[in-house]
Every structure is written in structure tokens, then in C-alpha cells.
């Protein structure tokens, strides 16, 4: 493995993660309508794909050190932000003793729909997912077999039960494993093509353009008509479970493609790349920002729409962007500079060399959503 490839980063991947965070902020507002719909069916695919794209940086690492590193980089911030948010809400007298106990129980359980920080449950899930994938890589060796096994695991978990059951995302890590595996598979193709130094052939460019166009159309359909649009064209009002699962998978993949394309376009904006590298802080402080910022606005005589208002999804989507900018300025920058241990970074981190802005067939990165 080229160590230079491990120590440089893809700016477009950072922007891709930032888009996912914005969608996540949107989907956690009430009354978001179409914006909430598109966020609900796209965020996880984008984040897990982006994390899988950088799985190669730990490929070949022994299982013990790999698990230790992931525990530090994912679970330290998970508990730090969870306890920190609890402390702030207790200080603001928002929680009773019963609420505090329930909060801690949910934080320790750490599964979807139970974690009190709605944006943070994906960290324990990502921990399990990355360990599963690492084990599959060591057992199966061949990338095609690893991808097939990941798809089989995801399908099996989804067919067994739809919702979360086990703590720390032990089951959800398997359910969403396919997106992590797809990220790694695309990463292999990307790096192989970049190493060859050749441009895409015309048929490849045509196929890529067709795939991107189809992804944009699919996302557009989801935005305006919801998941059951395509079955309704065949006169099916309520498609079978397996059909709905495949449609959801299609929307998640389409969202990842669209987010990657947007990242390639916006990677020339350094601020967006910098914000995209602060995924952990932006997720961990979402609830704090949504509590504190409206209070500060009210103190200044300003009013911000609350999540239950009917001002329109576009206004709330814009407000989500303001919230992210506030989280970056107030929390991400000082935490990353003065308190890196909150992010599981103990000791001096090696300097990363930014990759130049290059066309899609070139560039490099180390950091995924877990970095």
C-alpha cells in the first residue's frame, strides 16, 4: 500500500460528508416535508459509503490494534458528546432526574431510536460495521467475495428484522454493511484508475454520465413523490417488503452518487472541505446548537423558527445550514485545536498533505466520517 495515498485526503469526500450532515440536520426537524424525506433515505448511505471509501487506510492491520483504534476514534467522542450534552441540558434545567437516568441508559445502549443524541447512534454502528468488514477482509481476502458477503449480511439482517434490537448497533452494523463495502469497492476502482494515469474511455464516460443522470432522476422522484412512485406506475399501491427494501437501497445509492458529484464540484471551496472534516463535532453538537442558538437569538431580540413551525421546508433547510456553520465556529474549531482528546486523538497526529483539486480520476484522502 502506498503510504502517500494513506496520508493525503480527498477534498470532494469531505464535502460529500458535509452534505450528509446538512441532510441529517434537515431530517431531524419536524415538518421538513420533502427535505426530511430525502434526508431520511440518503444520510446513512452517504456516510457509510464515505467511511468505506477510506477503509484501505487500515487494510492489513491486525484485528486487535484495529479494534482499539476504532474504539478510541468513535466511542470516545460518542460518550464525550453524550455526557457533555447531558450536562448542558441539566444546567439549563431541561431534564428531571428520571430524564437523566433515561438519558444515560439510552447512551449506554447506543442503538438507533434509543440513543438520546439522535445523530450519534451511527458511531457505535460504524464501529461494529468496520470490524465486521475488517474480519471479512481477513477471512475472504478477495474483494469480490467480501462485497458479496457484505451484501448477503445486509440482506439477511433486513429480512430478519427491520428495526434495531441489539445494543451498540450490533445488528444495524450488519444491515448497512453493504454501503461500507460499496465505498471500499469504488475506492479500489478509483485508486487503480489513478495509478494507471489514464483518462476514462468514451464508453466509460458515457456509462458514468448515464449513471449520474439516472441517480439525479431517482433522487428527484424521491423528493417529490416518495418511495412508492415506481411501484405505483405498475398499479401496486403497497409493494412487498423485499421490493421496498430494494427501492430504499436504490435511493441510498443514488444519493451517494449525487453527493459525490456535488463534492467534486464544490471541492474548490476550502471552507466546505474544512467543515466536512469536522463530521464528528457537527454530529455530536447538533442538539446543543439547536438548543443554544435559538436562545441566543431570542436574547438579541431575534426569532428563529422552531422545528414545529410551518414556515416551509426550504426555510428550515436554510436554517439547518446556519446551525451547521454555528456548530463549526463555536465547537468544531476550538475542540479540534485545544481538546483533540474529545475526538479520540491522543498524542500528536501525523500531518496530512492536502491533495490538489484534480479531476475525478485523481486525488487521495485518509479521513472518512470517523476521522
CB 169 within 8 A of CB 111: yes
Mean pLDDT of 59-77: 94
d(CA 333, CA 331): 6
CB 34 within 8 A of CB 223: yes
Residue 357 pLDDT: 46
CB 176 within 8 A of CB 112: no
CB 222 within 8 A of CB 251: yes
What is the Cα 211 distance to its own chain's centre?
Answer: 22
Residue 200 predicted with pLDDT over 70 = yes
Residue 6 pLDDT: 59
Mean pLDDT of 14-41: 81
DSSP code of 235? Answer: T
Domain boundaries of the chain, sorted by first residue: 3-354
DSSP 31-50: T-THHHHHHHTTHHHHHHHH
CB 140 within 8 A of CB 211: no
pLDDT tens by residue, 281-323? 999 999 899 889 988 988 888 877 766 555 667 788 888 899 9
Residue 243 pLDDT: 87
Burial class for 104, CB neighbours closer than 10 Å (0-12, 13-18, 19+): middle
pLDDT tens by residue, 96-155? 899 999 999 999 999 988 999 888 999 999 999 999 999 999 999 999 999 999 999 999
d(CA 229, CA 264): 29
Q: Angle 27-229-34 (CA atoms, 0-180°, nearest 5)?
A: 25
DSSP code of 2? Answer: -
CB 15 within 8 A of CB 262: yes
pTM, two decimals, is 0.90
- Residue 361 three-state SS: coil
Q: Which residue has the higher pLDDT, 247 or 353?
A: 247
DSSP code of 73? Answer: I
**Burial call 137-173: b when 16+ CB within 10 Å, e when fewer:** beeeeeeeebbebbeebbbebbeeeeebeeebbbbbb
- Nearest Cα to 287, choosing from 94, 46, 35, 117? 117
Residue 316 pLDDT: 80
Cα-flanking dihedrals φ and ψ of residue 8, to 5°?
-115, 170
CB 11 within 8 A of CB 357: yes
Mean pLDDT of 42-59: 93
d(CA 224, CA 110): 33
Crossing angle of the two packed helices 122-140 and 143-160, in degrees rounded to 10: 140
Amino acid at each position: 500500500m502506498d503510504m502517500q495515498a494513506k496520508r493525503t485526503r480527498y477534498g470532494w469526500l469531505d464535502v460529500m460528508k458535509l452534505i450528509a450532515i446538512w441532510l441529517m440536520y434537515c431530517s431531524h426537524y419536524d415538518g421538513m416535508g420533502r427535505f426530511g424525506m430525502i434526508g431520511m433515505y440518503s444520510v446513512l448511505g452517504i456516510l457509510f459509503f464515505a467511511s468505506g471509501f477510506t477503509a484501505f487506510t487500515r487494510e492489513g492491520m491486525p484485528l486487535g490494534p484495529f479494534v482499539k483504534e476504532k474504539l478510541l476514534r468513535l466511542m470516545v467522542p460518542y460518550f464525550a458528546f453524550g455526557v457533555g450534552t447531558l450536562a448542558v441540558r441539566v444546567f439549563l434545567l431541561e431534564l428531571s432526574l428520571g430524564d437523566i437516568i433515561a438519558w444515560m441508559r439510552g447512551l449506554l445502549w447506543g442503538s438507533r431510536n434509543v440513543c438520546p443524541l439522535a445523530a450519534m447512534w451511527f458511531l457505535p454502528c460504524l464501529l461494529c460495521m468496520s470490524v465486521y468488514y475488517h474480519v471479512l477482509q481477513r477471512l475472504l481476502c478477495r474483494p469480490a467475495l467480501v462485497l458479496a458477503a457484505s451484501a448477503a449480511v445486509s440482506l439477511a439482517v433486513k429480512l430478519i428484522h427491520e428495526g434495531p434490537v441489539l445494543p451498540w448497533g450490533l445488528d444495524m452494523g450488519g444491515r448497512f454493511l453493504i454501503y461500507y463495502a460499496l465505498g471500499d469497492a469504488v475506492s479500489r476502482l478509483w485508486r487503480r484508475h489513478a495509478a494507471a494515469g489514464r483518462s476514462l474511455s468514451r464508453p466509460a464516460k458515457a456509462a458514468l454520465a448515464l449513471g449520474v443522470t439516472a441517480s439525479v432522476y431517482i433522487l428527484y422522484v424521491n423528493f417529490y413523490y416518495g418511495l412508492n412512485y415506481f411501484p405505483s406506475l405498475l398499479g401496486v399501491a403497497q409493494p412487498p417488503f423485499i421490493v421496498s427494501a430494494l427501492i430504499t437501497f436504490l435511493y441510498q445509492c443514488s444519493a451517494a452518487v449525487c453527493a459525490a458529484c456535488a463534492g467534486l464540484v464544490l471541492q474548490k471551496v476550502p471552507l466546505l472541505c474544512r467543515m466536512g472534516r469536522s463530521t464528528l463535532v457537527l454530529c455530536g453538537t447538533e442538539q446543543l446548537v439547536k438548543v443554544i442558538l435559538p436562545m441566543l437569538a431570542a436574547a438579541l431580540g431575534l426569532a428563529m423558527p422552531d422545528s414545529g413551525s410551518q414556515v416551509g421546508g426550504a426555510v428550515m433547510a436554510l436554517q439547518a445550514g446556519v446551525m451547521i456553520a454555528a456548530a463549526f465556529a463555536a465547537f468544531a474549531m476550538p475542540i479540534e485545536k485545544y481538546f483533540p482528546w474529545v475526538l479520540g486523538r491522543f498524542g500528536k497526529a501525523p500531518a496530512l498533505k492536502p491533495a490538489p483539486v484534480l479531476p475525478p480520476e485523481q486525488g487521495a484522502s485518509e479521513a472518512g466520517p470517523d476521522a
